[in-house]
Copies of this chain bind each other. A is one copy, B any other.
Amino acid sequence: MFSKTCEHAIKAIIFVTKQTLEGKRASLKTIAFGIESPEAYTAKILQLLVKNEFIFSIKGAAGGFETDLNKMKKLSLMRVVEVFDGDSIANRCVLGLKTCSSRNPCPFHDKYAPVRARLVCILENTSIMDLALGLIAGKTSLKE
């Protein structure tokens, strides 16, 4: 559903939020280990998260990544997904037609569109903070 890049990004931002909640600054190494993603690739993705102001970075020794917790309460999963995968989840035709529309629907549109709409709704109403809190509570995991 999501690209690998987007998957790594989601896990990374949740992980950094968790660390910030715990009062720890997260280094690249810690993050890559914590979300089981390749270090160099994760570095690239973290840079994009920084550029989009989802997280911020502190350079130099004892540097790393942190989040603004209030921001994470308001930031929806959908916003993150949009940055990495565009609006394809919400708008792309599931059979690859150039445009998805009920005016020229593909054979699966009518059955698919409602499920997709439900998913988009959930993505929009789930905050990064929500996800980080489940992680801290030990109810969910970013590994294995």
Contacts and interface: CB of A to CB of B under 8 A. Distances in A.
Contacts of A14: 107
Contacts of A142: 95, 97, 106-107
Given A111-B122, A115-B115, A126-B111, A144 B95 contact: no
B144 A105 contact: no
Contacts of A122: 111-112, 115
Interface stretch (A2-10, A38-46, A55-63): A2-10
Interface string A80-122: 0000000000000011111100001111111110010011001
Interface of A: 1-2, 4, 7-8, 10-11, 14, 77, 94-99, 104-112, 115, 118-119, 122, 126, 131-132, 134-135, 139-144
